[in-house]
Structure formats: C-alpha cells, structure tokens
Amino acid sequence: MTADTNPLPSTSPEWKRLVAMAAEIQRELGSDRDLRHGPGASVSACGIEFDGELARLTPEALGALQSLARARNVERQRDAMFAGSIVNRSEQRSALHSALRAEDPTQRVPGVERQVGPMRDRMRALAEALHAGAMRGSDGDVITDIVNIGIGGSDFGSRLLCDALGDLAPVRFRVHFVSGVDGLQVERLCRSLDPRRAVFIVSSKSFSTVETLTNASTLMQWFSASAPLRVPDHWFAVTGNARAAAQLGIPEANVLDVPEWVGGRFSAWGSVGLPAALFLGWPVYREWLSGGTAMDEHHRQAPLEQNLPVRLALHNVWHSTFLDCPSQCIASYDNRLAEFLSWAQQLEMESNGKSVTEGGRPVDYATAPIVWGGLGNDGQHTYYQLLRQGTRRNAITLITVDTASRAYPAHATALAHQAQAQAEALSKRDGGAGYNSVMRLRLRDLDPRSLGALMAAFEHATTTAAWIWGINPFDQPGVELGKKLAAQIQSQAV
C-alpha cells in the first residue's frame, strides 16, 4: 500500500480544540469546577437510553466532538458502508453486516439478496424443522443438542444470544460451544453428549482456523466411533470455504455460506448465528435481527447530535484519545449479559486496536481502549476498589435493564439499587491521582429486539470511532503472525 499522504486527523483544528478542552478538564479535576456534562446528556433509541450526565465531558466538548465527527465525514462513510461500497480497503471488501439483518436486503444493496435470501431461508427451515421435532438423527432420534465448534466471531455472538435469551428457548434443547484448542471442552462434551441426538455446526468463515479444525476433527472421530451414524444427518458447516468443509466430510448440501463482505466479529446476523437460531427458534432469532435493523435505521436517519451509536463513539474517542483513559470498563447489571463483554471486547479491540491509518501511516494518538469488565454486581466485590481509589483514569459504562429478574422482583429491585449507588460512588473521587468518567446505558427491557439494537449500536459505535481515528475497523492483520508461528512450530514438531 502506498504511503498515506493525507494529514493525520490530529492535525485538524477541531482535534486541537479538543486537546485544549481535555487539558482544561484535567487541570480542574478535584476543583469545585469539577467538569462533567450534567443534565441533558441523554440520547435514546430503540428502547435504549445513553446517559452521559456523570461523564467528564462538558457540553462544549461534546459539541466540539460532533464538529470533529463532521470534519471526519462520518456520515458519508456511514452511508458508503450501508450502500455496500468498498469500505474495507485493505481487503478490498464491503462491510454489509447490516444487510444480513435487513428486512429486505435488496433495498440496501441490489444483488446482495442472492446471498442473504437462500442463507436465511435455510437457517429458518432448519430451525423450524428442529422445533417441530422433524430434525432427526440417523437412527431417527429427535435432536436435542446443538454443538457449535468455532472461535472468536464464530463463537461470541451466538454464545451471547443463547445465554442472554436462553430462557425463551424450549427447555428440551441444549446448546454447547467449543472454541479454544485446549481439549477440555471436547472431553467434557463427549462425556455427556449422546451423538444420536446432536447436531454439530463447524463455524469458520475461513475454515482454516486451527483451533476449530482440530476440535471438529476430534469430535467427528468421536462421533464416527460412537455409533454407526451418517455425517450428513448430524453435521453442518458455516463457512465461506465449502471446499475445505467437504474435505472434513461435510457435504455441500450441509454448508451455509458466509459472504466475504461480512467480518467475523460482525457475522452472527447471518449463518454464523445458526446455533442461536436453532436453539432459540426462528421467531426469537428473527426478532433479534429486527432489533438490529431498527438501530440501523436510527443510525442512518438520526442527526449526529441525536444519534445513539455516534454518542457512544464520541465518548469512546474522548476518553481514550483526549482524556487518556487507557481502558473502558463495561459493567453489566443483568446476568443475562454475562457473555456481552467477550463479544464487545473482540468487536472493539480487534476492530480498532490499530496504530496506523487506513493508508498505513503511523498515528500519533491513542486509538481503541482496552475493553474489560463483566457483571457489575460481581465486579463490586473484585475490582471496584481500584476503580474507586486506584491511580488510573477509568472510562466506565454501567449497563442496566429496568426489568431484570422477573421471577424474583425483590432481587431486581436490589440490583437496581446497587447499580444506582455504584454510579454515584464511582463518579466521586477520594483525592489521589485516579478518576472515573461514568456513563450509563439503560435498557427498558432485555428482549430479542433490544439485544439486537444494543449489539448493532455497539457495532456502529466501533465503526464511527474508527472513521474519526482514520483507521480501518474491518481487518485484523495483527493476528496473522501468531497463527504463522504456531503453524511453523507445529510443522517442526511433527
């Protein structure tokens, strides 16, 4: 790639103004003028409210960030992405994850329907057959267990859906996820699983990921040794590489395509979401897709000032780049979001963990934060001490759901009180070097639609932040060296 001669975003007047504003806020820390946004810092969409009242981001600085976003043409880049333009320039690809969830993909990008339509129809047919008891094993047994074999983007999205919405699934089904090459997941699964009642989904866009291929071949050997069962009755592949799937023994008829224009970490909206569609049932999965599409419409239509994903992105850029907060702590106050962090970590850190512009020019500013956290209530009894009295600068997002545990309303109320108290406590300082900037994301309810909307909002926040930083959020060249070295070590070992 030819050297990028475009001026770095950090040379713009909008950027320099923000550097000055951030310096003033840091100077005023601990003074009476302790600068925060204060009331009127909310933006809502699709049953989700983002509240930046406690964030160390003044209304003036927010305005300056919105000017920067305009100067960085985030609206033009957003529209180009939705229109199917080549926005992933290093791989010369579109990024059309939104078409996977669109009611009618053709409305978005002519021709994309040819890929999305058949894939979605196949997923629906399989899910409906399973839930109708029509999906049978070779011996005629009803299928009860779904095993997904995949890692990273071929694991996290489906795992989050199944965990967060699992209470909506019929009780007779179980879903299992096998990701790392450790072998323990495979071992424990083989101890409890009846192969006659199981379907296996080998999920890998490239079908070259060593962890997934190792787990798949071990499980297929176990499967073939356990009982005289036919692979076509029990094994499916989700991949952009049907030929490699055939080499593993999975017939083309059992392969669902992963289009090249969707990145792994954005892919659960398509065939990579098959384990979730099977486990939850098509209506629930379809609702989730619709939630994502509703957020797409908001992101496409709402002005920057009232655009929830853009607001998330601006807070992310502000804290990571201007206020020099090295990390973003996501603390979820609903156990149904226990898997949210892993999904959000890959999304942000694999997308924006970059130190060169799209054109290959080294940046002179911080990009993606380290994303960490987990279940907030548990975090209170582990790492909140550091957040309260440590020496670090912390950007903290608390996610709450107004209707947490229905079975035990008293627990839901107690949890809400904890979250409210912690938002206040975390935004107070006890002197010392560290400080926190606290944001809140409130979901009216956690159902398939709102989860879809939440995940789409985070996706758009990640791509919007990337466009402000001038980096490419759709590739992950940094992961290749480790894979290459592991393959070399493996080949030298045999």
Instruction: Single out the catalytic residue among 211, 350, 358, 459.
Output: 350
Report the residue number, 204 or 307, with the smaller CB distance to ligand F6P.
204
Q: Which stretch binds ligand F6P (CB under 6 A): 38-46, 51-59, 205-213, 216-224?
A: 205-213
The CA distance from 119 to 261, in Å, is 14
CB of 154 to ligand F6P, least distance (A): 4
> Helix H segments across 55-152?
59-71, 74-82, 97-101, 105-108, 113-131
Residue 476 binds ligand F6P (CB under 6 A): yes
* Residue of 122, 196, 265, 440 interacting with ligand F6P (CB under 6 A): 265
Report the residue number, 244 or 337, with the smaller CB distance to ligand F6P.
244
Residue 479 binds ligand F6P (CB under 6 A): yes
**179: helix, coil or strand?**
coil
With vertex at residue 145, the alpha carbon angle to CA 140 and CA 148, rounded to the nearest 5 degrees, is 125
Residue 97 binds ligand F6P (CB under 6 A): no
Residue 84 binds ligand F6P (CB under 6 A): no
Residue 78 binds ligand F6P (CB under 6 A): no
Give yes or no: 350 in active site: yes
- In the bound state, the residue with its beta carbon closest to ligand F6P is 264
* Residue of 151, 199, 304, 457 interacting with ligand F6P (CB under 6 A): 151
In the sheet with 145-149, reading across from the earlier edge strand, the strands are 174-178, 145-149, 198-203, 235-239, 255-257
Residue identified by tokens 């964030």 is: 55
Residue 205 binds ligand F6P (CB under 6 A): yes
Report the residue number, 211 or 447, with the smaller CB distance to ligand F6P.
211
Report the residue number, 269 or 318, with the smaller CB distance to ligand F6P.
269
Radius of gyration from C-alpha coordinates of the chain: 23
Q: Which residues of 377-415 are buried (b: 16+ CB within 10 A; e: fewer)?
A: bebbeebbeebbebeebbbbbbbbbeebbeeeeeebeeb
CB of 264 to ligand F6P, least distance (A): 3
The CA distance from 479 to 63, in Å, is 36
State phi, psi for 148 to the nearest 5 degrees: -100, 125
CB of 167 to ligand F6P, least distance (A): 27
CB of 9 to ligand F6P, least distance (A): 25
Residue 210 binds ligand F6P (CB under 6 A): no
Residue 463 binds ligand F6P (CB under 6 A): no
- Per-residue x/- marks for ligand F6P, 267-306, CB under 6 A? ----------------------------------------
Which of 398, 362, 365, 363 has the alpha carbon at shortest distance from 379?
398
Report the residue number, 107 or 488, with the smaller CB distance to ligand F6P.
488
The CA distance from 316 to 62, in Å, is 12
Report the residue number, 203 or 307, with the smaller CB distance to ligand F6P.
203
Q: Which stretch binds ligand F6P (CB under 6 A): 12-20, 62-70, 78-86, 199-207?
A: 199-207
Instruction: Single out the catalytic residue among 16, 417, 483, 484.
Output: 483
The CA distance from 53 to 394, in Å, is 16
Near ligand F6P in 336-395, by CB under 6 A: 350
CB of 214 to ligand F6P, least distance (A): 12
Kindly tell me the burial class for residue 424, based on how many C-beta atoms sit within 10 Å of its own C-beta (0-12, 13-18, 19 or more): exposed
Rounded to the nearest angstrom, the gap between the alpha carbon of residue 379 and the centroid of all alpha carbons in its chain is 21
Residue 144 binds ligand F6P (CB under 6 A): no
Q: Which stretch binds ligand F6P (CB under 6 A): 149-157, 285-293, 323-331, 454-462?
A: 149-157
Contacts of 360 (CB under 8 A, 6+ apart): 1, 3, 4
The CA distance from 427 to 40, in Å, is 17
The CA distance from 374 to 394, in Å, is 15
Near ligand F6P in 26-45, by CB under 6 A: none
State phi, psi for 51 to the nearest 5 degrees: -125, 115
Residue 105 binds ligand F6P (CB under 6 A): no
Residue 157 binds ligand F6P (CB under 6 A): no
Distances (CA, A) of 399 to 414, 422, 438, 477: 15, 12, 11, 31
CB of 408 to ligand F6P, least distance (A): 36
Tokens in use for 35? 């600068």
Q: Which residues are catalytically annotated?
A: 350, 381, 483
The residues binding ligand F6P (CB under 6 A) are 151-154, 204-206, 209, 212, 264-265, 350, 476, 479
